[in-house]
Amino acid sequence: MRVGIVCPYSMDAPGGVQNHVRDLAEVLLAAGHSVSVLAPADDDTPVPPYVVSAGRAVPVPYNGSIARLAFGPVSATRVRRWIRDGQFDVLHIHEPATPSLSLLALWAAVGPIVGTFHSAMPRSRAMSAMSAILRPALEKISARIAVSEPARATLVQHLGGEPVVIPNGLFVDRLARAVPRPEWRGEGGTLCFLGRLDEPRKGLAVLLRAFPTIWAAHPGVRLLVAGPGDVEEARAMLPQECRAAVTFLGMVDDVGKADMFATSDVYVAPQTGGESFGIVLVEAMAAGAPVLASGLDAFRLVVDGGKLGRLFEVGDSADLAAGALELLADPQLRDRLRDSARIAVRRYDWGSVAKEIVSVYEMVTEGVPGVGEAAEEGRLSHPGGLT
Mean pLDDT on 113-137: 71
Residues 6+ apart with CB under 8 A from 300: 306, 311
Q: What pLDDT was estimated at residue 255? A: 95
Helix count and strand count (H, E) for the chain: 14, 17
CA 145, CA 161: separation in Å to the nearest integer? 10
Mean pLDDT on 162-177: 95
Average pLDDT, the chain: 90
Domains along the chain with CATH numbers? 2-169+349-377 (3.40.50.2000), 172-347 (3.40.50.2000)
Question: Percent of the chain, pLDDT > 90?
Answer: 73
Mind listing the pLDDT tens digit for each residue in 259-308?
A: 999 999 999 999 998 888 889 999 999 999 999 999 999 999 999 999 99
pLDDT band at residue 381, thresholds of 50, 70 and 90? very low
Q: pLDDT higher for 76 or 204?
A: 204
Indicate whether this model's pTM tops 0.75: yes
CA-CA-CA-CA torsion sign (247, 180, 220, 281)? positive
Mind listing the pLDDT tens digit for each residue in 320-372?
A: 999 999 999 999 999 999 999 999 999 999 999 999 999 999 999 999 999 99
pLDDT band at residue 380, thresholds of 50, 70 and 90? very low
Q: What pLDDT was estimated at residue 41? A: 85
CA 268, CA 361: separation in Å to the nearest integer? 36
Angle between helices 279-286 and 331-344 in degrees, nearest 10: 110
Angstrom distances, CA of residue 40 to CA of 22, 53, 59, 374: 13, 5, 11, 22
